[in-house]
């Protein structure tokens, strides 16, 4: 599953008029979404591990062996990215429980529902994230 794609069963959150930001209904929506993404990713990781164990074959042809090793390396890189995302999901779930979810770690303003729908593990508002990316580009030169 792509990192920032909502599961199909989760419709975007539509707030009601006068609803407070990060009310219990919103927190429940994001908690359910994050848990669903996490369980899907964990299942994918388990499936990959079992598949790799079942298909562990030593091929005689060096080209076939190189191709197999390349495929395994790519799969392991993908699973490592998913493992890191699961860690971010766990951190987001912890922030939900402590009622800190949805607020920028840098400046404390609301991150925004649409940004959280697109990236439920976001910890920075769009302005702080943009500044961070500009700094990263400047340091990379």
Q: What is the pLDDT of residues 33-43, one digit of tens each?
A: 999 999 998 88
pLDDT on residue 37: 93
Tell me whether residue 16 is in a domain: no
Q: Which domain holds residue 123?
A: 103-141
Give the CA angle between residues 112, 116, 122 to the nearest 5°. Answer: 105
Task: Work out the percent of the chain whose per-residue pLDDT is above 70.
Answer: 88
pLDDT on residue 56: 64
Residue 114 and residue 64 share a domain: no
Tell me whether residue 35 is in a domain: yes
Assess whether pLDDT exceeds 90 at residue 3: no
Residue 33 and residue 57 share a domain: yes
Residue 110 and residue 81 share a domain: no
Rounded Cα gap, residues 57 and 31, in angstroms? 41
Structural domains counted in the chain? 2
pLDDT tens digits along 95-130:
999 999 999 999 999 999 999 999 999 999 999 999
For residues 42 and 101, is the Cβ–Cβ distance under 8 A? no
């Amino acid at each position: 599953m792509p990192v920032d794609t909502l599961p199909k069963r989760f419709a975007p959150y539509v707030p009601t008029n006068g609803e407070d930001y990060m009310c219990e209904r919103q927190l429940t929506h994001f908690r359910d979404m994050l848990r669903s993404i996490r369980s899907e990713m964990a299942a994918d990781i388990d499936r990959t591990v079992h598949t790799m164990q079942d298909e562990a074959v030593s091929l005689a042809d060096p080209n076939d062996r190189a191709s197999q090793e390349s495929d395994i390396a790519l799969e392991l890189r993908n699973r490592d990215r998913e493992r890191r995302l699961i860690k971010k999901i766990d951190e987001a779930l912890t922030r939900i429980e402590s009622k800190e979810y949805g607020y920028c770690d840098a400046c404390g303003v609301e991150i925004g529902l649409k940004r959280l729908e697109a990236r439920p593990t976001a910890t920075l508002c769009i302005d702080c994230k943009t500044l961070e990316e500009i700094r990263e580009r400047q340091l990379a030169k």
